[in-house]
Amino acid sequence: MKLLENKVALITGASKGIGRAIAKEFAKQGAKVAFTYLSSVEKGQALEAELQAEGVSAKGYRSDASDYKQAEELVNQVLQDFGTIDILVNNAGITQDGLLLRMTEEQWDKVININLKSVFNLTKAVLKPMMKAKNGSIINITSVVGIRGNAGQANYASSKAGIIGFTKSVALELGSRNIRSNAVAPGFIETEMTHELANKEEWLNQIPLKRGGKAEEVAQTCVFLASDMSSYITGQVIQVDGGMLT
């Protein structure tokens, strides 16, 4: 039997990168996959078509995770289409890098809203159905930058650190309802975002495994946390970073 057989997963920001890898890996493990996209419409539609062609019960939704009302409407629609939500993966996120001296209020607000407020929005929206089912796994994608900080990313690091605090608080509140809350902190993962970095070699030199990670390696960690194999794990942050912060 596959690890996520008959489970319904909702994944935000899944049109590309780590989110896309999570959607594909979950589908491989037998999950029914609901996912969101916003600006990357063609990529989102292509992922839906790809998964459906493989016989997966999958549907993409164009939805802004940082909008509280849209998050509620999304969850209600997924419940209508799939019947339940067993797994929530809060993955939607952006960067708007710049030194604090030059960072605008707009850059700060946008990153906090999309990266952190979205986690609150979606988690709040799935709580009632998960509590009713007395079961659920919430997985929040944070970053090693949320643990150690990074120059030029005060907004991004703050949003990712906030996710860690939120994850642990939810674990404490909802453990008695059999709802688990964990975070995954990727390090340097080879995605479209990291290909554009000018200081890529500097990052790689800090990694004991001497390579960037693959999006699939993050996705496999999420499969573990979504499955019954991690049934006694909650409130944790798992670093997928090749030993970068060791």
Q: Which candidate in 37, 68, 156, 232 is catalytic?
A: 156
**Residue 225 and residue 184 in contact, taking contact as beta carbons nearer than 8 Å:** yes
Burial class (CB in 10 A: 0-12, 13-18, 19+), 131: middle
SS3 230: helix
91 among annotated binding-site residues: yes
Read off the DSSP letter of residue 228.
G
68 among annotated binding-site residues: no
159 among annotated binding-site residues: yes
Q: Is 61 a catalytic residue?
A: no
156 among annotated binding-site residues: yes
160 among annotated binding-site residues: yes
53 among annotated binding-site residues: no
157 among annotated binding-site residues: yes
Read off the DSSP letter of residue 189.
B
Any bridge partners for residue 36, and if so which? 61
**Residue 90 and residue 118 in contact, taking contact as beta carbons nearer than 8 Å:** yes
| Cα distance between residue 70 and residue 87, in whole Å | 19
**What positions carry a catalytic annotation?**
156
- The binding site for NADP(+) consists of 91, 156-160, 189
Binding-site residue ranges: 91, 156-160, 189
